[in-house]
Amino acid sequence: MSDSSIERRAHPRHDRSVEIEGVVHHGTVARMRASNLSLGGLYCTSTIDFPEMTRLAVRLMLPTGTPTNAGLAPLDVEAVVVRRREILRGAATTDERFELALFFPRLDDDQKRELARFLRDVM
């Protein structure tokens, strides 16, 4: 196995679709959709571009309950943009989208527990 194929992440990634909202200090709010989530961060798409190293206040809307009694529970965390890429949607559209990789620099015990429960329960 080559060094480039070794997984370097500290936390396993889970393919989960979660609505999120990101807010920067000056008040810009972005609605995003995470498609890949772990205890270390997430991968999402956004209609707003954020430069690398931007700090965001992120609200994850985690599904709760059972399929017959479902709801959403917000989980607020801090995140940092560590990678970004513009996605072109096609020549006929002006709807620019961006792929963002966000890192969670610190989660407290309650945040870790809630995120771990969500990742475990939706397996």
State the pLDDT at residue 1.
41
Residues of the chain with pLDDT under 50: 1-7, 123
State the pLDDT at residue 87.
85
- Residues near 7 by beta carbon (within 8 Å), at least 6 away in sequence: none
State the pLDDT at residue 4.
46
Q: Do residues 50 and 30 make contact, with C-beta atoms less than 8 angstroms apart?
A: yes
State the pLDDT at residue 63.
81
Residue 58 to residue 4: CA distance in whole angstroms? 31
State the pLDDT at residue 18.
79
State the pLDDT at residue 3.
47
To which residue do tokens 């479902």 refer? 70
State the pLDDT at residue 77.
95
* Domains of the chain and CATH, by start: 3-121 (2.40.10.220)
Q: Do residues 8 and 17 make contact, with C-beta atoms less than 8 angstroms apart?
A: no
Q: For all residues of the chain together, what is the average pLDDT?
A: 81
Angle (CA) 20 16 53, round 5°:
50
For residues 57-66, b (16+ Cβ closer than 10 Å) or e, as one string? ebbbebbeee
Q: Is the pTM of this model over 0.85?
A: no
Residue 60 to residue 36: CA distance in whole angstroms? 12
